[in-house]
Amino acid sequence: MSARLNLLLLGLAALIVAAPLVLHPGTEYSGTDDAARDAVATVAPSYTPWAEPLWEPPGKEMESLLFAVQAAIGAGLVGYAIGRRQGSRAK
């Protein structure tokens, strides 16, 4: 039963991820940083940022890689914490 439920949940997660790509092909998806920058430019065109990034990644690929590494580390930490908690309950 557990394996069947895991497969069902995995399929559901894949469906949730794939649905926007199938329902709206050719749509350009951008991040919230771009949306925020566009919103600020619309509301206050003369706004100048008061801070600059300490380091700018050399390209979008490097930025995506760093984001993925950050997400993987976070997921690993959360998984470790859940595993430790489940392991302590099993004793």
pLDDT at 56 over 80: yes
Same domain flag for 69 and 45:
no
Range list of H helices, 1-91: 2-23, 32-43, 60-90
pLDDT at 1 over 70: no
Same domain flag for 62 and 90:
yes
With bands split at pLDDT 50, 70 and 90, how would you rate the model's confidence at 91? low
The tally of domains found in the chain comes to 2
Q: Which residue has the higher pLDDT, 75 or 25?
A: 75
Same domain flag for 40 and 63:
no
pLDDT at residue 75, rounded to an integer:
96
pLDDT at 30 over 80: no
Q: Give the residue numbers spanning the domain of 65.
A: 57-91
Distances (CA, A) of 24 to 18, 64, 90: 10, 22, 46
Give the mean model confidence (pLDDT) for residues 2-20: 91
Q: 45: helix, coil or strand?
A: coil
